[in-house]
């Protein structure tokens, strides 16, 4: 479906969707389009001020939209637990969960209050715990769960002997590990749902190179290029050629979340320029992402790290 657009999204009326990290970028565009199609959308993010701004923008674009903000800091396990507990208390089935939030290429190693490396914690561990804790509601809604990966997974390797990268921290490999983990999680979740009868459709997606704050605030901020001021010259010239807008980057996510013909275990991304940009469609998962034994090992290691178990 190389011509897939938001016009292909089925009516979402009566469905509850959660989009993490949705105050800007591809997350915001995903939440906006789901609201436009009639879904009730929960903006799940850390910053309440930005959350309220996102609500105003969505309501301005979609009068009558059913949308609300809920505080969620994926780098803090207590926040993940509190968020899940609030939704479990409501008891409403969840039909779409988009695990979108992330941080990218932190130049120096940072550690969360729980003792986890920040990129792994925000991009992967928090979403793993969130999905596990929401499992009863996801099962009730026969939910579609979308895990956000990246073309950076291609260079990722799972450091089973040092998942928190306490030794030899480097921004790119650690970011690649977190996005490889998300892709492996998405595929393994689909396998386990089928095995245990959870009724979930687990799909992974990536936005290509979307022009968002994740890029602007990530790898170039403290690079030699930025320090020399050259990014101010080169980015406006080069970036449009190899990237696309946040709205275009959201299309693979929306396709993964709503397209009926997309089956569990699929990986959806941009399809042109080595998946940097272009319309949504099937993406290429590297061999390390398809290693089912490694995915099962990572799953068990993650449950042990977090003290959280599915089912």
- The catalytic residues are 175
Token pair of 247, please? 């709205």
Q: Is 213 helix (H, G, I), strand (E, B) or coil?
A: helix
Rounded CA gap, 54 and 104, in Å?
Answer: 21
Rounded CA gap, 122 and 32, in Å?
Answer: 23
Rounded CA gap, 60 and 45, in Å?
Answer: 20
Q: Is 42 helix (H, G, I), strand (E, B) or coil?
A: strand
> At which residue do the structure tokens 């995915």 appear?
295
Q: What angle do CA 74, 184, 41 make, to 5 degrees?
A: 45
Token pair of 220, please? 């170039």
Instruction: Quote the crossing angle between the two packed helices 292-306 and 171-196, to the nearest 10°.
Output: 100
β-bridge mates for residue 144, sequence order: 96, 201
Token pair of 298, please? 């990572």
Q: Which helix (H) or strand (E) covers residue 105, if one does?
A: none
β-bridge mates for residue 280, sequence order: 270
* Contact criterion met (CB below 8 Å) for 27 and 20: yes
Phi-psi category of residue 39: left, alpha or beta, with phi > 0 → left and psi -120 to 50 → alpha: beta
Token pair of 139, please? 């099962």
Q: Phi and psi for 21 in degrees, rounded to 5?
A: 60, 40
- The pairing of strands 267-272 and 277-282 is antiparallel
């Amino acid at each position: 479906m190389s011509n897939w657009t938001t016009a292909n999204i089925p009516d979402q009326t009566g469905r509850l969707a959660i989009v993490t990290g949705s105050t800007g970028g591809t997350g915001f565009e995903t939440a906006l389009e789901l609201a436009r199609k009639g879904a009730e959308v929960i903006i799940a993010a850390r910053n309440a001020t930005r959350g309220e701004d996102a609500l105003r923008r969505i309501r301005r674009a979609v009068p009558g939209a059913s949308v609300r903000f809920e505080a969620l800091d994926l780098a803090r396990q207590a926040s993940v637990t509190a968020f899940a507990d609030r939704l479990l208390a409501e008891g409403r089935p969840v039909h779409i969960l988009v695990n979108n939030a992330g941080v990218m290429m932190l130049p120096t190693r940072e550690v969360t209050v729980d003792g986890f490396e920040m990129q792994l914690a925000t991009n992967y561990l928090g979403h793993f715990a969130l999905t596990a804790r929401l499992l009863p509601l996801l099962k009730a809604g026969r939910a579609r769960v979308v895990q956000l990966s990246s073309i950076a997974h291609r260079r990722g390797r799972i450091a089973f002997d040092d998942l928190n990268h306490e030794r030899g921290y480097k921004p790119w490999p650690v970011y690649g590990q977190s996005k490889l983990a998300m892709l492996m999680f998405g595929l393994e979740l689909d396998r386990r749902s089928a095995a245990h009868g959870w009724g979930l459709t687990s799909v992974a997606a990536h936005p290509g190179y979307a022009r968002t704050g994740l890029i602007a605030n990530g790898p170039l901020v403290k690079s030699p290029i930025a320090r020399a001021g050259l990014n101010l010259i080169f980015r406006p010239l080069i970036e449009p050629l190899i990237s696309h807008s946040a709205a275009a980057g959201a299309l693979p996510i929306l396709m993964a979340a709503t397209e009926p013909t997309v089956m569990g275990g699929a990986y959806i991304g941009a399809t042109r320029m080595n998946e940097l940009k272009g319309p949504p469609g099937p993406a290429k998962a590297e061999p390390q992402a398809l290693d089912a034994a490694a995915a099962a090992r990572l799953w068990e290691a993650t449950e042990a790290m977090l003290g959280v178990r599915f089912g």
